[in-house]
Chains A and B, each alone.
Chain A
């Protein structure tokens, strides 16, 4: 099995004036193609920090990160931007949708920077919105959508460019149990279709959809379990 992600002894130190805070204290793991990983751990344990590094948004203070065998640390800003645009889909913990902008236009954004023409952008964005169950809400602005609906717009935006790796930071944090299940079924289907998924969650129920659970505590990994197919929820 080829490792899509290989991180080796990653540290991330935040400097705030005189103070320093080490959010990641040497984290190493590999993720293979086709895996569905859930990252768990208490609040403040470094999950989002780790996701931002994997998502090529934030550079580690030290350590190596290889994505598809390429050394991310040696890439320039434009190469990172292209990876974020074409290879990765990122669902942020706080949605991060553009205000005063229709759902469909938010979803189209990655396609704009991928240089896809407006007609194709629109049809692809509409299709993904339907996939995440937002048919009929395409032209609502973010402020005219519920938290769960905004979360789904964010998921649609992450999926619209057909990424091979989906990174989701608490994608079900704002959803009720039945919508959570719908989203998890969508993730499972995407995973079956070959997309590698890394997802942060607090809920064991949600984590049990994944094929592997990594648990963080205080900037370290304290456990890394691959669940058998039997344990996995259908």
Chain B
């Protein structure tokens, strides 16, 4: 018997029991939808995380003022305990550190002509842009000389450029920040969103000392808000963190059980946490998927067994007029596989929609790949084969005359 005919016979059998066929498929639909959503969320999350790692820069340790308790709670945040000299010391004295930059931050208005724009103003040293792997696309970056002489220059993120200059070239123009005129010397490459979801391009950078002298609210002219440190390699991250800790404790005279007045944070650890929670989400969806696929498969088996019993006479008739055991086996297998494949296709559709909604809510990109769709499709077919085999074998093992006599 040819395959097309087998499919036709199976489709007809499924059509006669439309509602039942649909209900039987539900488990598969839910399971496959969960598989698709799982893969989409999982790959979307790892894409986002790798993007964020790239946008922060690699092998980064952040040193911030204030202590952190073992539970991760920060105390004394905002205290002015870090200085530019700490940053310099870290860079020169910690062997595992390649670069460090002290930073200060405040927010304020940037004004050009009659346009103004509220933005983040950051002070940093030339190393900051190397650590964050953030080059200028026009003009030049901040130099050590700019920092040393506290010159009134700035470089702009693209969002600031767009809001103050439109499409005009800002290099060489003068803008006012907190009423102080700054000459624009460069424009930074586009960076996109930060892990916290803020627009990193909405920033004006000025030399660290300029920021400390001209823009800080109080008279803490040597204080800095954070130190951004880059370890020499990923392997040396923990070494670098330890070196920074002991160096700063020594410099701040913190001994024994005295509480630290600073905290180090390894940014890749933060991202690892994010990655872990994405994995947990994938795992949860995976559990939902496998449970409902198993339950769905058992449902298929159950319905196929009912169908074999109901259609015993039909099987007898087919055998009596020349169907071989294999023809009967194939017919019921095909029915089971068609059920699961249709269920699989519906599941793929629903899962894709679901993943899109999830990604909208979490503002993650949806990554529904051809691979995940084909994996889901073949997986649903495999479930049909696995759970359809027993009922189909039962049908094929019937004796023609007994099947014909079956009431």
Taken together as a complex, chains A and B put the C-alpha atoms of A98 and B323 apart, in Å, by: 14
Q: Which of A112-120, A175-183, A192-200 contacts B (4 or more CB under 8 A)?
A: A112-120
Q: Is the CB of B322 within 8 A of A85?
A: yes
Q: Is the CB of A113 within 8 A of B404?
A: no
Q: Is A231 in the interface zone, CB < 8 Å from B? A: no
Q: Is the CB of A113 within 8 A of B317?
A: no
Q: Is A92 in the interface zone, CB < 8 Å from B? A: yes
The answer, among A52, A86, A100, for a CB contact under 8 Å with B401, is A52
Chain A positions within 8 Å of B313 at CB level: 96
Range class of the B interface residue count: 20 to 34
Q: Is the CB of A90 within 8 A of B321?
A: yes
Fill in one digit per residue for B172-215: 1 if any A CB lies within 8 Å of its CB, else 0.
00000000000000000000000000000000000000000000
Q: Is the CB of B401 within 8 A of A109?
A: no
Q: Is B80 in the interface zone, CB < 8 Å from A? A: no
Chain B positions within 8 Å of A82 at CB level: 322, 324
Q: Is the CB of B16 within 8 A of A110?
A: no
Q: Is the CB of A81 within 8 A of B1?
A: no
Q: Is the CB of B322 within 8 A of A77?
A: no
Q: Is the CB of A157 within 8 A of B320?
A: no
Taken together as a complex, chains A and B put the C-alpha atoms of A96 and B2 apart, in Å, by: 24
Q: Is the CB of A77 within 8 A of B324?
A: yes
Q: Is B373 in the interface zone, CB < 8 Å from A? A: no
Whose C-beta in chain A lies nearest to the C-beta of B319?
Answer: A81
Taken together as a complex, chains A and B put the C-alpha atoms of A78 and B326 apart, in Å, by: 9
Q: Is A70 in the interface zone, CB < 8 Å from B? A: no
Chain B positions within 8 Å of A52 at CB level: 401
- Whether A78 touches B325, Cβ cut-off 8 Å, given contacts A96-B313, A109-B318, A118-B5, is yes
Q: Is A58 in the interface zone, CB < 8 Å from B? A: yes
Q: Smallest distance from the beta carbon of A48 to chain B beta carbons, Å? A: 10
Interface residues of A in 67-114 (CB under 8 A from B): 77-78, 81-82, 84-86, 90, 92, 96-100, 109-110, 112-114
Q: Is the CB of A84 within 8 A of B317?
A: no
Interface residues of B in 1-24 (CB under 8 A from A): 1-2, 5, 16
Given contacts A57-B320, A82-B324, 7 further A-B pairs with CB under 8 A are: A57-B400, A77-B324, A96-B320, A97-B317, A98-B317, A109-B318, A113-B321
Q: Enumerate chain A interface residues (CB-CB to B < 8 A).
A: 52, 55, 57-58, 77-78, 81-82, 84-86, 90, 92, 96-100, 109-110, 112-115, 117-118, 157, 161
Q: List 21 A-B contacts (CB under 8 A).
A: A57-B400, A58-B400, A81-B325, A84-B320, A85-B322, A90-B320, A92-B320, A92-B404, A96-B404, A99-B314, A109-B318, A109-B321, A110-B322, A112-B5, A113-B1, A113-B323, A113-B324, A113-B327, A115-B2, A118-B5, A157-B321
